[in-house]
Amino acid sequence: MHTELTTIEITPKSNHQYSIIWLHGLGADGHDFENIVPELNLKAEPHTHFIFPNAPIQPVTINGGMEMRAWYDILERSKVDIDGIYQSATLVEQLIAQEISKGIPSEHILLAGFSQGGVIALQTGLNYPHKLAGIVALSTYFPTLDTLKTQPSIANKTTPIFMGHGILDSVVSIETSKAAYNTLHELQYNVQWHDYVMEHSVCIEEIHHITAFINTAFN
Does residue 208 register a pLDDT over 80?
yes
Backbone angles phi, psi at 115, to 5 degrees: 60, -120
Q: Are 18 and 48 in contact (CB under 8 A)?
A: yes
pLDDT given for residue 76 in this prediction: 84
CA distance linking residue 143 with residue 79, whole number of Å:
9
Does residue 21 register a pLDDT over 70?
yes
50-95 residue pLDDT tens: 999 999 999 999 999 999 999 999 998 778 999 999 999 999 999 9
Q: Are 175 and 139 in contact (CB under 8 A)?
A: no
CA distance linking residue 33 with residue 115, whole number of Å:
12
Helices (H), the chain: 36-40, 82-101, 116-127, 146-150, 174-186, 204-217
Does residue 17 register a pLDDT over 80?
yes
pLDDT given for residue 205 in this prediction: 97
CA distance linking residue 134 with residue 218, whole number of Å:
9
When pLDDT is averaged across residues 19-40 and rounded to a whole number, the result is 96
pLDDT given for residue 39 in this prediction: 96
Which domains are seen in the chain, by residue range? 7-217 (3.40.50.1820)
- At residue 1 the predicted structure's pLDDT band, cuts being 50, 70 and 90, is low
Q: Which of 46, 40, 24 is nearest to 138 (CA)?
A: 24
Q: Which residues are catalytic?
A: 115, 169, 200
When pLDDT is averaged across residues 37-51 and rounded to a whole number, the result is 96
Sign of CA dihedral 83, 86, 90, 91: positive
- At residue 4 the predicted structure's pLDDT band, cuts being 50, 70 and 90, is confident
Q: At what angle do helices 82-101 and 116-127 cross, to 10 degrees?
A: 60
Does residue 199 register a pLDDT over 80?
yes
- At residue 216 the predicted structure's pLDDT band, cuts being 50, 70 and 90, is very high
pLDDT given for residue 130 in this prediction: 97
| β-pairing verdict for 109-114 and 18-23 | parallel
Give me the long-range contacts of 201-208 (CB less than 8 A, separation at least 24). 201/139, 201/166, 202/36, 202/114, 202/138, 202/139, 202/164, 203/166, 206/138, 206/164, 207/36, 207/39, 207/40
pLDDT given for residue 219 in this prediction: 84
Does residue 151 register a pLDDT over 90?
no
| β-pairing verdict for 7-10 and 74-76 | unpaired
Across the chain, what does the average pLDDT equal?
Answer: 95
